[in-house]
Structures are given as C-alpha cells and as structure tokens.
Amino acid sequence: MTPSAPSDRSATAPPERTLDAAIVALRRGEPVLLEGSSGDAALLALAAEFAADSNLARLRAAANRPLRMVLTRRRAVALGLAPRADLAGAVSIALAPSLPAAVIRNLADPAASLGVEPPGLGPAPQPAEGGELAAVALAKLAALLPAVLVLPLAPAEATFARRRRDVAVVATQDVLTRRAAMSGLNRVAEARVPLADAEDARLIAFRPGDGGSEHLAILIGAPDPAAPVLVRLHSACFTGDVLASLRCDCGEQLRGAIAAIAKAGGGVLLYLAQEGRGIGLVNKLRAYRLQDAGFDTVDANEQLGFDADERVYLPAADMLRQLGYTTVRLLTNNPDKLAALERYGIHIVERMPHVFPANGHNERYLRTKATRSGHLL
C-alpha cells in the first residue's frame, strides 16, 4: 500500500488488530489485512459486494499484481465455474485488471444479477487455502455475502500495511477458529417480562465473549432442574416474529411455543441470534428475491454461496447448562436440533412435534423443509 499523508484517524488511533474491528471494517467496504501465523504470509481482503472504483483503486495500489476473487464452492457451482461433485470449501479466481466493479458485485450477488450471463473469467478457479479461506469466513462472520477480493502481499508490502493505522489487522487463525456462538457466553442481564400467553416469564440475556449479538432465554415459570424441562430453540426471524410475515411459520412457532410451555407449567424458549438460518437478515431478503424467481429455500441460500443452513447450536447447549437444565423435552420438527444438543451434552428424552398449518403463502417453504431439510412435518 503506497505511503500517503496520515489522516486524523491514523495520527491518533492505534492499529486495529481485533476480529471485531476487522468485521466492522469489512462491513464499511474497507480492506482488511489478514496475516498468517508465520508473520509474513498476508493478504488484503475486501468484501466483493462493496466493490467500487475507489476501493478497488486503493486495493490495486497496494501491490502490482492482479486481484483474485474468492467464492465459496457453492457460489462457484451456481456460476458454472466449478463442478457440483464437491461443495465444500472455496475457490480462488484471477481477475482481469479491467474487470468493472459492477461485474464483480454481480458475481457475488445473484439477486442483483438475475438473468445476467456471468462473464468469462479466464483461467480455471483454484482451490482456496489459508488466508483466502479466512477471508470468506470473515465475510460470513460479518453477515455479508461470502465473496471477497484478495490481494496477496509480499513480506515488505505486508510490513508496510501492518504499520498503517487506518487498516484493520486480524490473524488468519483467529478468523478460522472463531464461531460466533462458540467463544463462551456470559449471563449479563435479566428481568421479569410478563407475556400475553405467559405472564410468569423472565427474559435472560447471554452475551458471547467475542462481543457478538446476544442470545436470549425466555424462562417461563420455575421448571425443576431434576426433571426433563420443556425447551424450544427458536432462531430469530424479524419478518416472521415481528412483522407476522406469511412467507414462513416462524411467528406462529414462536408464539405457539410460548403458549405451549406456559400450558405445560413452565420451561425455556431460547431465542438465538441466527437470522435467516444463520445468513443474516439482509442475505435472507436476497434469498427471498431468488425464491420469487423460482428457487426454493435451500437452492436460494446455495445460490448466494451459503450452506443450506448455517446455524450452530452450541450456544443453546451452553445457555441450558447455565440455567441448570441438561435433560430436556425438545419442542421441534428439526432432527438437526436433536442431534446437535445431544452432541453438546444435552440429553433429550422426548421430541415434541411443533407443526402449524400452511397459510396460502408458505406451502412451498414448508414442503422444502420436509423434503429437502428433513423436518418432520
């Protein structure tokens, strides 16, 4: 990165070298320096959905070599750039120096490029590795599309970049080993919150140790830890839970679970910060647009470059243990939740079905849940 006059920020602020700072920088459309454990293996990464002439010029000025685009293999398959035989990992593609920013954004976002033929990109993609994989993982942690531009740096270039005070720096290993909900949860606040269907309820907030979004527990009544407690795991759904959207059954499942737990005499509903099966609200809206174009729920997520379901349930197990409950009756139709809780040490003695009728708008959504995601509907 070529020297320039220091900005006010670079003159007064220390270099940002935390994962949180890297996530914020990536979400602002700024390059982030990812450095390897050897101290000299480094690259600059930029979220592809923010590609613009200004930040592309900034990135290209850092070194006289072509940029590469790193996509999840699922997104590469959707673009016809990789075979469907293997969907794991990511691929790295060399970009022509003249490739416009708008084309780069379209490669990242199928919802913005419906009906647009992808451009020829020259050499075949290569398997992504090391810092390239970390760059894609960082984009996911930032709830952005999992597509990044990267520029590998020579040791001298990396040294100069590390000294800049306006570039967020993060270790590749910190990104690759981090899971949003796996870094330890702290119980930080609670209060009595009477609900329409459960007046004897308390809301308890758990904050991840990495500063991520809080998960919430709704404790209804005073269930006995010595007996199996009725539990529902509910992933956040702004459109269904708050707006009562008819595209899904989430709002009905949330309110129905609260009423069922209260009727049973008590239990716990865990409200997990995993919007859109873990891809985030903005990406869920992109997936909705793809669904309107004919893709089902699973295919829409994969067109965006995500797995069909990106959620993790370790935080749920941690929350239950902190509340004193390790044996549960689980209110769910999703076998993945059963398997995950058991894997993380929560014993499930019974699965309680949690099914609601279709409403005229969500038949295909529910059918996909059953036929492609294995839900027991």
Which residues are tagged catalytic? 309, 311
d(CA 300, CA 277): 12
SS (H, E, C) 85-145: CCCCCEEEEECCCCCCHHHHHHHHCHHHCCCCCCCCCCCCCEECCCHHHHHHHHHHHCCCC
Q: Which residue has the tokens 């930080």?
A: 188
Tokens of 173: 């290993």
Phi, psi of 132 (to 5 degrees): -65, -45
Helices marked H in the chain — which ranges? 8-12, 19-27, 53-60, 73-78, 101-108, 131-141, 155-163, 172-176, 250-263, 275-278, 281-292, 297-303, 314-323, 335-343, 363-371
User: Closest by alpha carbon to 331, among 252, 240, 278?
Assistant: 252
Maximum pairwise Cα distance, the chain:
67
Contacts of 274 (CB under 8 A, 6+ apart): 181, 235, 236, 310, 311, 312
d(CA 175, CA 168): 13
Contact 19, 27 (CB under 8 A): no
d(CA 300, CA 306): 9
Contact 211, 229 (CB under 8 A): no
Contact 45, 179 (CB under 8 A): no
Contact 69, 104 (CB under 8 A): yes
CA 247 to chain centre: 21
Calculate the alpha carbon distances from 205 to 12, 217, 234, 238, 302 in Å: 35, 6, 15, 18, 32
